[in-house]
Amino acid sequence: MPYRIEPLFDTKNPAFVTLDFAAAQDQNDPLKHLRDEFVIPTKADLKSERYGPATAHPTDGDSSKSLETCVYMCGNSLGLQPRRTSEYVKKYLDTWASKGVYGHFKELKEGLPPWLHIDDAIKEQTAKMVGALPGEVVVMETLTANLHLLMASFYKPTKDRYKIIIEGKAFPSDHYAALSQLAHHNIDPSALIQISPTCSDTPYLSTEHILSVISQHGASTALLLLPGIQFYSGQFFDIALITRHAQSLGITVGWDLAHAVGNVPLHLHDWNADFAAWCNYKYMNGGPGVIGGLFVHERNGRVDKVSLPNGNSAAEDPTQSEDQLAFRPRLSGWWGSDKSARFRMDNKFVPIPGASGFQLSNPSALDMTAVTASLDVFAMTDMEALREKSIKLTAYLEARLLKYPDGTPPYRIITPSQAGERGAQLSVLLEPGMLDQIMEILEEEGAVVDERRPDVIRVAPAPLYNSFVDVHRFVIIFQDACRKVVASRASKKTPDTESGTAEVENGVS
Ligand SMILES: Cc1ncc(COP(=O)(O)O)c(C=O)c1O
C-alpha cells in the first residue's frame, strides 16, 4: 500500500511526551478546524443522569477549556454527532410539519432535496467515500440486512461450487449471515470455511495465508466475504490483491466495510470488488443504527435490453417490456424499480441500473438527513487528507503507548504496526484480569474507548475530530490507570497466590 512507514516522530526527544508537543502537532494540523464541526461531550455530560448536555460545550481552541471535554476515542463503534445534524434534522421536521406529503415532491428554498430524490442526492458523496461510480452505490437498509440482500443475489451455490469463505474472527453478524445463507440453500454448515490466524498469540492474518486458504478451497468456493478492516484487531486487508486472487479462481468477492468506510481511502471500482456493504454510524458519524450503504460493481448492476427474435431490441420504453430485460436476479421491492414507472402500480419490475436497483423500500428521510449531514462534513476535506492525518495520529498514539514510564507495560498492541495494514484503531491487549478495573478508571476520568472481552480495549483516534492533545490526554489517563491496577493487584498478592499471578502476568509479553 502506498504509504510511507518511516518513523514520523523523534521519540527520543524528551519533549515528545509533553502536552506542549501534542498541542504543537495540533497547531500544525491542516484539518484542525474540522473538530469544531462536532459536538464533543464534556466529562460532565457523560456522568450526568440527564440525556442532554449538562454544560455548555466548550469549543476547543483554548486548551484550558479542552480539558473539560471527554477524550472520545470510540469512533470505531459510534462516531460523534456533527453539529449540523440537528440543523438538518430540524429542517426535515419543519418540512414534514409544514408540507406533509408534499415534502416528497416539492423543491424547497434552502431545504433538503425532496424525499423522493433524497437517495439520489447523496450518491455522489457516498461514491467518493468508497471510490465508486455514483451509480455503483446506494444508501439503504442496514448492514446485516444489506449483506443478506447482496448474498441473495451473489451467492449462487452449485453442486461443485458452494462454499463461503469468511475469517475465523468474523463479526458475529457476518458469521450468522453467512451460516444462515448456507442453511437457506440446504447446504451443510461445514461449507463455511474460516480463515484463522496461524499463530495463537496474535489475531494477525498475513495476506499470504489468506491467499493460500482461498487457493486451497478455490475450486469449491462460491463466495468470499471479508471485512475491509477487522473489527477486533484493526487489521486493514489488502482488498485489491485478495479480490484479484479470489476472482482469478472463479470466486465472487464481497466486502464488509463497517470499519473501513470513512476511515481509510477505498477504491472499490478499481479494486473490482463484486459487492460491498457498510454502516454509516462508526467513522461516518451518521448516528446510532442509521441507514447503511452498499456497492455493486458496474458490471454486476447492468440492465441490458435483450434482442427479440425478429432482431428488434426491446421497446423504447423499458418499463413496458419486463421480459426483454436481462439483469442479475435479486430480492426486489418497488424502490428498486424504475422511478418513472414506480407509481404506475403495474407490477412490472424494471430495475434501476446499478446499486439503486437493489433497493426495497422508500428510505427513511430522517436517516438520509442524518447521513447527508455527515457527508457534508466529509465534503470539507477528502479521504487522502484525512488518511494523512490519521496515519500520523495513530502512529503518535502507538509511539506514546510503547513508551511506558514504569518498565514493561502490562499490555501490548495487537494491531499491525505497519501504517498500510491498519486504519485509525489500535487494539490493546491487557494482562488477563485487568479489563474491568481499567475500564472503570477510564470511565471515571472521561476517556471513552470500547472493550472486547476478555482483555482487549480498542482505541480509535478519528482524524475528523480527534486531536493530538486527545491522544496525549488518553495516554496519561490510561497509563496511570495501568499503574494503579498493577499496584492494587500487587498489594493483594499473598504468598499463596503469588505464583498464580506471576503466571498470568507472563501470559502477555
Ligand atoms: C464488522 C461488522 N459487521 C456487521 C455489523 C452489524 O451491523 P448492523 O447491526 O448495522 O447490521 C457490525 C456492527 O458493528 C460490524 O462491526
**Residue ranges of domains in the chain:** 14-69+383-506, 143-278
Question: Does the CB atom of residue 258 touch ligand 1 within 6 A?
Answer: yes
Put residue 142 in one of left, alpha, beta given phi > 0 → left and psi -120 to 50 → alpha.
beta
Crossing angle for the helix pair 468-492 and 383-402, nearest 10 degrees?
Answer: 30
Q: For 479, what's the count of Cα atoms within 13 Å in the CB-facing half-sphere?
A: 19
Tell how far CA 192 is from the center of its chain. 24
Other beta carbons less than 10 A from residue 255's beta carbon? 27
CB-CB contact of 435 with 451 (8 Å)? yes
User: Angle 20-24-27 (CA atoms, 0-180°, nearest 5)?
Assistant: 140
Write phi, then psi, for 462 (nearest 5 degrees).
Answer: -80, 125
Extended strands (E) in 405-446: 411-413, 426-430
| CATH ID of 143-278, from 3.40.50.970, 1.10.3720.10, 3.40.640.10, 3.30.360.10 | 3.40.640.10
What would the grid cell of residue 311 be? 432482431
Question: Would you write out the chain's pLDDT as a tens digit for each of its 509 residues?
Answer: 444 444 688 888 889 999 999 999 999 999 999 999 999 999 999 998 888 876 554 444 444 444 489 999 999 999 999 999 999 999 999 999 999 999 999 999 988 899 999 988 899 999 999 999 999 999 999 999 999 999 999 999 999 999 999 999 999 999 999 999 999 999 999 999 999 999 989 999 999 999 999 999 999 999 999 999 999 999 999 999 999 999 999 999 999 999 999 999 999 999 999 999 999 999 999 999 999 999 999 999 999 988 766 555 544 555 555 458 999 999 999 999 999 888 888 889 999 999 999 999 999 999 999 999 999 999 999 999 999 999 999 999 999 999 999 899 999 999 999 999 999 999 999 999 999 999 999 999 999 999 999 999 999 999 999 999 999 999 999 999 999 999 998 888 755 544 433 333 333 32
- Euclidean distance between CA atoms 255 and 118, whole angstroms: 25
Asked if domains 14-69+383-506 and 143-278 share a fold, the reply is no
Question: Does the CB atom of residue 77 touch ligand 1 within 6 A?
Answer: no
Atom of ligand 1 nearest to the CA of 282: 14
Domain 14-69+383-506 sits in CATH at: 3.90.1150.10
SS3 465: coil
CB-CB contact of 370 with 287 (8 Å)? yes
Question: Does the CB atom of residue 381 touch ligand 1 within 6 A?
Answer: no
Question: Does the CB atom of residue 144 touch ligand 1 within 6 A?
Answer: yes
CB-CB contact of 155 with 222 (8 Å)? yes
CB-CB contact of 240 with 260 (8 Å)? no
243 is in an annotated binding site: no
472 is in an annotated binding site: no
* Mutate which of 139, 173, 235 for ligand 1 pocket (most atoms within 8 A of beta carbon): 173
Terminus-to-terminus CA distance in the chain, angstroms? 29
- Euclidean distance between CA atoms 34 and 466, whole angstroms: 9
SS3 326: strand
Q: How far is the CA of 94 from the centre of ligand 1 (A)?
A: 32
